[in-house]
Structure 1
């Protein structure tokens, strides 16, 4: 589905994998900043003659306030739970006036940031990064062309040092990448291999080497990077190469999601190769291969946006499509070239991703000036925030629950079995995550009890937490 109006370019609004003999629902849209009449085009990518029947076309208009309101409603539903505390006290004196203090220790949803080897060379970079982020991926340091520049001589020095830094600071790491399906990003010596059997053997060695080394230490793996856009391994080893590599990876580390990681999926519609439909199809091919049905899949959308107004309606359609398989969707390399409205556009993009139920994590392809990230630069050379850096700090704070205090109310109820007093707190809406809960009494200095609490969607919309003092 494509929109075109006077003096505006073609704007792709959405796609659907239509099936013969039945109706298919095509959902999408466009973002506009002025009123204009548009024509809607429906086009098939099938090379054969195709008859397209269209029925019940509707365009619903949303202004920015309405769009943001819808985002907030979804966040309240999918990122938060209502929580009520029920506290059992030994006597009425302790119950009356007691307070519940709540502090989030770790949020479930993480806004992360990539890091590169330059973090090992700068204490200021380390301090800046570790004080903000709890999720990362390495730009190049885990890639094959870094860890085995010379055939048979593996060197994980940089990746190991960065893993150690992350683990010491309780930063989760997503592995990037086991393999790459574009020949030019293999080690130079591997690019020169012409014998399929030789290529197969060195590739299997690579998979075993990197995945065994970091087993149990990562939150996911990009297994065969950009295997929708490129098909080098399929050309060399056969059409099922991707599926076989994912099977091997799953056998080596069955507990982590294994991602298809692609570009031009949520950010750019016209190219078509990396469309949400094609990415979904690739993952379906992988998990439908014999023996792969139990693979923990994942969808990675790199999200390298152009420096123009993002089409949020298309992005929402894309995330709907990617999420329809039920696998976690991550934005894995989010950036945008510098432009006057970069802060505004980035906030729109990040809020759209955060408000989508399928999205489980976001990693920025960004950093301070010293790190060399020249598109999404978050600080200057002295580690003073750029405007984009201020935006990221704002979102980090907003997406982590702020400390709160709740009074104990309704403490007249008596538990007949033990003669205890039951106090109940007001309901509070909390972001999913791990919390420390402390019960205190303002007039009793030595009275303080701590509890751990996990707020998750699995607990239902209203989570009643029972504490005994």
Structure 2
């Protein structure tokens, strides 16, 4: 600071506000959920049993096969690998469910997360975990593509809507193979524990704790100072689908723009909407909707380029010969991707290509991978997504299980022409009525997260209330965005209706609005304690912060950007006076208010540069120090808090 400024400060004194982004998150619940899943799908040796096996007896088979029984026909035995690892084997099987089993007691309302490592004696086959209830109902809890020669993790779960014993079974439709298993785990969570895990994860991955300290020049705390952060923009993409009704409804426009900054057009970009008659393309509706979105700062996902379901082709496409279909599909891709190149945040390239195979049946098994390579070549800066249903919604759908999804995305990413492509995992999230299986949903997200690719919930619908699914998605560390396929009754959103004919909230709409406020847009007001300190946990995003106190002539305003931070351990070892300080100073403004004009100083690297605008007597002097933990630099002389 210059001698002149030191003199001014000494004469007048000033109020100092320090805002420091602190550690991410709070302490974790004692029953911590294990999000881990291996990045390698097949290992030479299985990893440890999660939760020590939970309520499973003898999970690692250290006591031979104690606690395990034969189900059906066949035999079971313990086997020891060359490395000394012990595991259980089901052999002499004749039926899919001939295997080892164990009985456990389930309690109504509890969530149970399951995991185990599997091999088969030859080739590869799907192995499923099945819960056999007291009434002989078979409830599948997850599946894995098990291979010979290495161990693969099955992760799944069940939510109990009853209290009774169940028998844990394992199924392989190829009864000729042996099933090998090791390190089996079934861990129960109460609903309260599950919610606590969600909240802890949200604190850790979506929020930062911010500390403000308000003192005068001598370090005297300004007790009672208020800090009011208002979210200007939140980082997490939480959006809502829209359809063409928004172009003609002012009510729809006002409702949407007051809530959402991300969207997917429900039908307007699809092939059957843009080329109903061969050779007659019409993008006018999609163009108008994109124009509306841009004018209102709304980011758009491209949905979709091609759709593998034969039912949802343009009528004229269904009867094309393979040669003509190949030409038409290539023309479609060139047309839609080139038209919107660089204007979208994502493309759903070959929609639902796990359940359906319209293009594969006519053009060959590599057609999906070829479509991704083509889309990438046409629009290389936009993220390319698979987009599938029932991967996390329904454990009984073997066509689109997390294991099958992983297999498909590996196939696509290994195809020539996609090197360097930015890929994403799209999970539609169409949940049926009744209680969602959140244990299965979370385990599926864990498995897909091991790819390192961003996961989006792309078309969430839940009947009748979406809060459980949305909170589960938001709390998962790997989920990078959520789009709900919901909206006004007038616009035809029947499954998840958020507002009625008069644009009044439905119960589902109230829940969504509540979540939007909870996740950052709701106003927060905090008061400084006796040390002049205010601590607030804020969701990642941009904030307009106002600070007031009776001794402050006028409110202090600053802009605050909050992003992901360093670990708790690193934050604790950093020093505020000398040494390494894990912050970068974004703004230091020293403002001397006068009767008409002011003196303003901008600080960079702890040096003050001042522009004198007036020499008149000042009324008050304030220093705003805005610190943001982005990168580690060495600073000295920073006041400790």
Question: Map of 1:439-450 to 2, 5 A cutoff?
Answer: 442-445=550-553, 448-450=556-558
Which gives a bigger RCO, structure 1 or 2 (Cα 8 Å, sep 6+)? 1
1:84, distance to aligned residue in structure 2 (A): 4.1
Question: Map of 1:291-310 to 2, 5 A cutoff?
Answer: 291-310=417-436
Matched, 1:263 2:370: no
User: 1:185-239 deviations in whole A, cap 9, x for unaligned?
Assistant: 222222221042x322222221122112222221111011011111222222222
CA contact (8 A) 1:283 1:297 kept: no
Question: What's the counterpart of residue 266 of structure 2?
Answer: 139
Aligned mates of 1:408, 1:68 — CA distance in 2? 30
Question: What's the counterpart of residue 428 of structure 1?
Answer: 536
Pick from 35, 40, 45 the counterpart of residue 168 of structure 2: 40
Question: What's the counterpart of residue 80 of structure 2?
Answer: none
Aligned mates of 1:167, 1:425 — CA distance in 2? 41
1:26, distance to aligned residue in structure 2 (A): 2.3
TM-score normalised by length of structure 1: 0.87
Change in CA separation of 1:402 and 1:381 when aligned onto 2, cut-off 3 Å: closer
Question: What's the counterpart of residue 316 of structure 2?
Answer: 189
Change in CA separation of 1:85 and 1:296 when aligned onto 2, cut-off 3 Å: farther
CA contact (8 A) 1:287 1:294 kept: no
CA contact (8 A) 2:455 2:480 kept: yes
1:336, distance to aligned residue in structure 2 (A): 3.2
Aligned mates of 2:301, 2:421 — CA distance in 1? 17
Question: What's the counterpart of residue 398 of structure 1?
Answer: 518
User: 1:149-179 deviations in whole A, cap 9, x for unaligned?
Assistant: 1222211111111111211221211110011
Pick from 563, 575, 579 the counterpart of residue 456 of structure 1: 563
1:96, distance to aligned residue in structure 2 (A): 6.0
Question: What's the counterpart of residue 12 of structure 1?
Answer: 140
- 3-state SS of paired residue (1:28): strand
Change in CA separation of 1:57 and 1:213 when aligned onto 2, cut-off 3 Å: same
User: 1:110-166 deviations in whole A, cap 9, x for unaligned?
Assistant: 321111111222211221121111211011100011111122221111111111121
Aligned mates of 1:9, 1:434 — CA distance in 2? 51
CA contact (8 A) 1:85 1:464 kept: no
- 3-state SS of paired residue (2:456): strand
Change in CA separation of 1:390 and 1:439 when aligned onto 2, cut-off 3 Å: closer
TM-score normalised by length of structure 2: 0.65
1:280, distance to aligned residue in structure 2 (A): 1.5
Q: Is there any run of 5+ residues in structure 2 with no aligned partner, and where?
A: 1-128, 572-581, 590-641
Range 234-243 or range 214-223, more displaced: 234-243
Root-mean-square deviation over aligned CA pairs: 2.7
User: 1:16-64 deviations in whole A, cap 9, x for unaligned?
Assistant: 232323333322221013211101111125x472211233433222111
Matched, 1:123 2:250: yes
Matched, 1:102 2:229: yes
Question: What's the counterpart of residue 248 of structure 1?
Answer: 374
Q: Whose Rg is larger?
A: 2
Aligned mates of 1:177, 1:88 — CA distance in 2? 55
CA contact (8 A) 2:276 2:314 kept: yes
- 3-state SS of paired residue (2:537): strand
Change in CA separation of 1:88 and 1:219 when aligned onto 2, cut-off 3 Å: farther
Is the helix fraction higher in 1 or 2?
1
CA contact (8 A) 2:141 2:396 kept: no
1:328, distance to aligned residue in structure 2 (A): 1.1
Number of corresponding residues: 447
Question: Map of 1:198-213 to 2, 5 A cutoff?
Answer: 198-213=324-339
Pick from 490, 507, 516 the counterpart of residue 370 of structure 1: 490
Aligned mates of 1:28, 1:457 — CA distance in 2? 29
CA contact (8 A) 2:232 2:544 kept: yes
Question: What's the counterpart of residue 468 of structure 2?
Answer: 348
Is the strand fraction higher in 1 or 2?
2
User: 1:362-386 deviations in whole A, cap 9, x for unaligned?
Assistant: 1111111101111111122111111
Range 105-114 or range 54-63, more displaced: 54-63
CA contact (8 A) 1:151 1:189 kept: yes
Q: Is there any run of 5+ residues in structure 1 with no aligned partner, and where?
A: 412-423
1:408, distance to aligned residue in structure 2 (A): 8.0
